[in-house]
Amino acid sequence: MLDSLRNAARSWVAKALLLLLVLSFGIWGVSTSMLTNGSNTVLSVGDQEISMQEFALAYQRQIAGLSRQFGTQLTPEQARAFGLESQVFAQLAAGAALDQLADDMNLGMSHDRLATLIAEDPAFHATNGQFDRNLFTTRLRNAGLREDDYITERSKVAVRSQIVEAVSDGFKPPQVLVDALKQYRDESRTVEYVLLSNANIDPVKAPADDVLNAWFEGAKNRYRAPEFRTFTYVTLQPADIAVPSSISDDEVRAEYERRKDSFTTHGARTIEQLIFPNKEMADAAATQLKDGTATFDQLVADQGKTSADVMLGEFSKEKMPDQSIADAAFAVNTEGGTTPAVQGAFGSVILRVTNIRPETTKSFDEVKEEVRQQLAIAAASQEVANAHDRFEELRAAGSTLEEAAKELNLKAATVTADASGNGDQGEKIEGLPAVANLLQDVFRTEPGADALPVNFGNDGYLWFEVREVIPERDRTLSEVRERVVADWTAEQQRQALTARANELKGRLDKGETLAAIAGELGLSVETKQGVRRNAEDAIFGNEAIAAAFSGPVGATGTALAADGESRLLLTVTSSEQAPTDALSSDPQLDRIAESAGDDMLDQMVNRLQSDYGVTINQAAADQATQMIR
């Protein structure tokens, strides 16, 4: 029980735990009917004793706090589920331990200071913000507390505060602690490593039947077949009832002419633009290009530019932002051809044109069947509602799903799938309709039950009927032998590779070099620089990064690589600390360092409880909680 108290204490914020008063008058009160005059002790720490009354008050305070948090009054069963009793034990034991320490140290509180603290409590302030003696008396009476008992308890809390403040309040972590945390976080390491694979172990032989059988028995749950359901479904979408033959060639031709632009791919070309300071220089350059005394690339280089500097990109004519440039560029018909000097938005320019693609338009014959199908679907979309109603009428008249589908020239399909849409061997079943929640509905429906149609897309429907439920079961080895052999082999390879890596690490630890071992294996030694804690690396992975920081420079290690199959054999060759100027203020690390004050308080309370001893009277605690119901 003492261990559980300590664990509970560690999980709480120490100051809030130790400074709570027995009750908070501004939020809740306690009926006097729940209190007794008995002196049975629920908990004791050293010479300090917690009565049933004090325990019941603290327990109700915890219930009230959680009830406010969840917006509903907790039941006794819910309070137990949240572990409230252990929390109250932890709170009261921690406070009692501080009270015993205060007694041992002869700590106390003057009457004047205690009167000031009570007067400053907002729970006893009237509307004018001043202490109200009548309000003080009334609230204590409503809570079932005598004034002397409240003043005694308030004095204890005040003395506890002195201890808490002395230990943790105002704690300023030493700079050496902050710097150490930053150095720890920012340290980077250089690691030499060899990547070991299954090629570095002996091939794993096929398992004997008895070996495979024994291994399969231990891993049978891995291959357990989930529940499967066989169901038949029928879809109704415009495409399912479209009749392309009903669309005449004249209708198709008219639609083609109307949408001809959509079948046209506009011409495009890649354009480079070289800008000149003035028109005279541009004209001179154009003359050089025309005479062949210079190339476009030479002109680009003469201006100290690169091809990336002059590249505009690929454009169709209508997408060009500057039409004067567009007209000139699309007047060039030769691959790699250039334009005369052109006055563009950015001055005088010369353009080079490459990757010329002419405008193309698909002919009527190329697209007529596509257009016919689209027109048929558009016409059918008007008939989906009627087809839906007709299908429902047939079902209501007793037609099976297949019979109703046949009557409307729809297709019925039957599949067997698990709840994820996979087949018996784990393969994804192709062709299942992309209907949201279809499989969920299937697995909620009993065989033979009439399920409501499911919306399919924006204008379609799907009907289904569950035909058979195949319960989950253990598969036999013969059903999954191929998978079992593959998994067994992979496990043997992992074990063998781990053993091989550990053996090579042992040789490293005895003084052999990584280079010598790598040479023996026909592998190369790689170097990874800048490895940092909590970083992500495509080769190392978390386990290898942890191994790289598991010891000082010169430490060796072996770990699973990021691919989950290979193993790394590594040696730490150097450690690089963050430079002094990098140890600037870091709020996150400052907060971590400052939390050392609360850690010290927690440790002190745990030590006090251990030294003084904690005793719990569970029967009295049970009786106290019964009074709250």
Query: Containing H/E element for 209?
Result: helix 209-218
Q: What is the pLDDT of residues 378-424, one digit of tens each?
A: 888 888 888 999 999 999 999 999 999 999 999 999 999 999 999 98
Nearest to 273 by CA among 300, 312, 306, 302: 312
Mean pLDDT, rounded, for 290-301: 90
Mean pLDDT, rounded, for 14-29: 43
Residue 585, exposed/middle/buried by CB under 10 A (0-12, 13-18, 19+)?
exposed
196 pLDDT more than 50: yes
pLDDT score recorded for residue 6: 36
Q: What is the 3-state secondary structure of 17-33?
A: HHHCCCCCCCCCCCCHH
Position 171 confidence tier, pLDDT thresholds 50, 70, 90: low
**Distance between CA 25 and CA 227 in Å, rounded?**
57
pLDDT score recorded for residue 567: 96
pLDDT score recorded for residue 507: 95
**Distance between CA 44 and CA 52 in Å, rounded?**
11
- The answer for residues whose C-beta is within 8 angstroms of residue 20's C-beta and 6 or more apart is 61, 91, 95, 157
Position 131 confidence tier, pLDDT thresholds 50, 70, 90: confident
Tokens representing residue 199 in the block: 């090629």
Position 458 confidence tier, pLDDT thresholds 50, 70, 90: confident
Q: What is the DSSP string of 583-623?
A: ----HHHHHHHHTHHHHHHHHHHHHHHHHH-EEE-HHHHHH
pLDDT score recorded for residue 584: 54
Q: Of the given ranges (29-38, 122-131, 202-211), which has the lowest mean pLDDT? A: 29-38
- Range among 171-180, 321-330, 469-478 with highest mean pLDDT value: 469-478
**Distance between CA 222 and CA 488 in Å, rounded?**
12
pLDDT score recorded for residue 226: 94
Nearest to 9 by CA among 66, 129, 77, 89: 89
103 pLDDT more than 80: yes
Mean pLDDT, rounded, for 513-521: 94
**Distance between CA 207 and CA 613 in Å, rounded?**
59
pLDDT score recorded for residue 452: 87
- The answer for residues whose C-beta is within 8 angstroms of residue 416's C-beta and 6 or more apart is 228, 229, 230, 423, 424, 468, 470
Position 589 confidence tier, pLDDT thresholds 50, 70, 90: low
Residues constituting the chain: 629
pLDDT score recorded for residue 506: 95
Q: What is the pLDDT of residues 255-277, one digit of tens each?
A: 888 988 888 888 899 999 999 98
pLDDT score recorded for residue 619: 87
Position 193 confidence tier, pLDDT thresholds 50, 70, 90: very high
- Range among 26-40, 90-104, 425-439, 498-512 with highest mean pLDDT value: 498-512
109 pLDDT more than 90: no
Q: What is the DSSP string of 500-524?
A: HHHHHHHHHHTT--HHHHHHHHT--
Position 596 confidence tier, pLDDT thresholds 50, 70, 90: low
251 pLDDT more than 80: yes
Residue 399 has a CB neighbour count (10 Å cut-off) of: 15
Position 10 confidence tier, pLDDT thresholds 50, 70, 90: very low
178 pLDDT more than 80: no
Residue 59 contacts residue 80 (beta carbons within 8 Å): no
Angle between helices 147-167 and 84-104 (to 10 degrees): 80
| Distance (Å) of CA 27 to CA 126, 143, 157, 320, 483 | 15, 11, 19, 71, 63
pLDDT score recorded for residue 586: 64
Q: Of the given ranges (17-21, 137-141, 545-549), which has the lowest mean pLDDT? A: 17-21
Give the sheet arrangement for strand 48-51, strand by strand. Answer: 48-51, 41-45, 614-616
20 pLDDT more than 60: no
Residue 116 contacts residue 124 (beta carbons within 8 Å): no
Q: Of the given ranges (18-27, 45-54, 318-327, 532-541), which has the lowest mean pLDDT? A: 18-27
Please list the alpha-helical segments (H only) found in 71-174. Answer: 76-81, 84-104, 111-120, 133-142, 147-167
**Apex 203 CA angle, 201 and 206, nearest 5:** 145
Q: What is the pLDDT of residues 207-232, one digit of tens each?
A: 999 999 999 999 999 999 999 999 99
Residue with tokens 């080895």: 477
Mean pLDDT of the chain: 84
Q: What is the pLDDT of residues 467-484, one digit of tens each?
A: 999 999 999 999 999 999
What is the share, in percent, of the chain residues with pLDDT greater than 90?
37
Mean pLDDT, rounded, for 60-65: 78
Residue 359 contacts residue 264 (beta carbons within 8 Å): yes
DSSP 270: E
Mean pLDDT, rounded, for 330-352: 89
Q: Of the given ranges (110-119, 179-188, 211-220, 328-337), which has the lowest mean pLDDT? A: 179-188
437 pLDDT more than 70: yes
190 pLDDT more than 50: yes
Mean pLDDT, rounded, for 180-198: 87
**Distance between CA 71 and CA 90 in Å, rounded?**
25
- Report CA 66 to chain centroid distance, whole Å: 28
238 pLDDT more than 80: yes
pLDDT score recorded for residue 150: 80
Mean pLDDT, rounded, for 602-610: 85
pLDDT score recorded for residue 583: 47
pLDDT score recorded for residue 130: 87
**Apex 154 CA angle, 148 and 156, nearest 5:** 105
The β-bridge partners of 485 are none
Position 36 confidence tier, pLDDT thresholds 50, 70, 90: very low
